[in-house]
Structure 1
């Protein structure tokens, strides 16, 4: 990992940003990199200090591979597993389903979120994006029907940045989005998830495991799904010989998912233990 990836390269808060991107996950960092490549003066701000982890992620679809190529980051997955598709399981059936062919590559991959997010962020910084870490967007000042400035809280003080264009990319529970009037539409499906990493003899598999029929320890059918993402490196290379084992639950406001995810994750890991040759508990 390069020093740029492992050491924050914060800048002092600027007074103005041509393009201000709030949220330095893959979406925000990619948007910042593209804006900088187009000649815009870009400031990227995140409440976290990188590298940081996220529960959901790691698996990269062919669309994500295409986006990495367009960013100039295709080499990030050069030594990762080439994922040809999904190994779907459910209701007594199993099917290998290749990614659809078309304008995207015919393969996906997987990279741990801690590494992946920081790599995309560092790439944006390398394109000239100014990065501020550990600062949370807390308010906006409107200029007519446009955002004129964004106020951040960091280290017990506040900083206000005037903006030309604003990109809000800080997640579904965005405080900034709420300040702008955005609502979390819980009447539509949303998900919660838990995952763990486990050593596996199949960390270089070309298939992502997916269970569409998720059952609990007592056999009851649950409103969710399970997955296994091979991260590569079974031979000591990148990925560390690990797989991402996780479960997710789908819910709506009317039908919340009352699931204790940790015991379900442990049960699911035990269920796929033999197939994926897991070398230890999650």
Structure 2
């Protein structure tokens, strides 16, 4: 049965499926406006989620809008730089407003924030299918709760189920079953290295090509260490096929290549197991809307392919969905087209930025570009400022690695 509801509800105004950053942010925003919201998840509160846990400026901004930034920062490990490390060992520290908080804690803060605003949380509840009327408009969803079927009617359904495509497929929204990339991470407790690794370190090297490795300082003397590989799957005649990617082998190669990673694994204690997860990027791979239903967060591909950052954009897309519903409150049927149009317009406004970050993804495919950028950034305050702008979303990452951009590196 529900963890927070003694009796599962039979109806609501907005039903949100998924209680990660996108779902919980949407639930809090709508509930604060007086909307009757139920948000459901197949996992109970306190579930672990595979993630790099990095909170860059867009996440700070979304948390501030939600009124939850202070609660998050009270528990997070703050950092002032991203340490970019190239294949030849060169390094540049790029300034930014940054923090790290394990997703288990972040998601709990967001979830409780939504409940605090009046949203009702239902878990564990596994989504099975969308409920449709005779015209094909989504009118709610069917769940499995304690092995028994249960239906919830709703004016609107929001799908915020993350990168795994099963829910998208069940709702008729999946256009690409394979992920955009894959990642593997673990937590290591290493008090001896606290103070030595202060930045969110991102490492490009041949062993992890076409991806990157990372070490992020987390709270309580622990570190999030992992590897991410972009373009991990290829699309063959509409059917995805995984390339020759062995994440554990890539992780071991990263540890062997990068001395701080090698020392971390040697001196520290691995907390739990290394865990992998898929990534859905570039706002592609799923339909965004259908009558009565909106797709948001990583289910809609909200993660940036270049940086792998997805927490902030998941919340941002969730807020776009909530704002679209609030802007056209009234009967669901009468405002269906307007809600969908506003939401899709909001996502389309983000699309050029995702395309630019996809261009910046060349650094992952060609690590020598990282060496070039680091070499020049050490000599050019203007270039360092532009790299900081990539974190703050005020600079175009694609321009840094375009032919014109590379030419400018030798002129600045």
TM over 0.5: yes
More strand by share: 1
Residue in 1 aligned with 2:201?
209
Q: In 2, distance between residues paired with 1:277 and 1:78?
A: 29
User: Is residue 137 from structure 1 mapped to residue 127 from structure 2 by the alignment?
Assistant: yes
Cα drift, residue 214 of structure 1: 4.5
Deviations along 1:101-122, whole A, 9 cap, x unmatched? Answer: xxxxxx0211011111112111
Structure 1 56/63 Cα, relative in aligned 2: closer, same or farther at 3 Å?
A: same
Q: Deviations over 1:206-247 (max 9, x none)?
A: 4210013351xxxxx63221111111xxxxxxx210110001
Q: How does 1:138-217 map to 2 (within 5 A)?
A: 138-143=128-133, 144-185=135-176, 190-200=180-190, 201-203=192-194, 205-215=197-207
The answer for the alignment partner of 1:61 in structure 2 is 56
What CA distance in whole angstroms lies between the structure 1 residues aligned with 2:76 and 2:118? Answer: 27
Any residues of structure 2 matched to 1:35-74 within 5 Å, and which?
35-74=30-69
Contact 2:184 2:226 (C-alpha < 8 Å) held by counterparts: yes
- Secondary structure (helix, strand or coil) at the match of 2:78 reads coil
1:253 maps onto 2:239 in alignment: no
Question: What TM-score do you get using the length of structure 2 for normalisation?
Answer: 0.57
Q: Which has the higher helix share?
A: 2
Matches within 5 A, 1:26-105: 26-75=21-70, 76-92=72-88, 93-99=90-96
Matched, 1:228 2:215: yes
Residue 104 (structure 1) aligns with:
none
Deviates more, 1:110-119 or 1:40-49: 110-119
Judging changes above 3 Å, is the alpha-carbon distance between structure 1 residues 70 and 191 closer, same or farther for their aligned structure 2 residues?
A: same
SS of 1:77's equivalent in the other structure is helix
Q: Does residue 103 of structure 2 align to residue 122 of structure 1?
A: no
Contact 2:52 2:226 in 1 (8 A): no
The corresponding residue for 1:234 is none
Q: CA deviation at 1:34?
A: 0.4
Q: Distance in 2 between matches of 1:65 and 1:264?
A: 31
* RMSD of equivalent CA atoms: 2.4
Instruction: Tell me the alpha carbon deviations over residues 70-101 of structure 1, each in whole angstroms, 9 at most, x when there is no partner.
Output: 212122213533222321122323222224xx
Q: CA distance change for structure 1 residues 34 and 70 in 2, over 3 Å: closer, same or farther?
A: same
Q: CA deviation at 1:276?
A: 8.7
Q: Cα offset for 1:271?
A: 3.9
- Aligned pair count reads 256
Where structure 1 has 5 or more consecutive residues not aligned to the other structure, the ranges are 1-6, 100-106, 216-220, 232-238
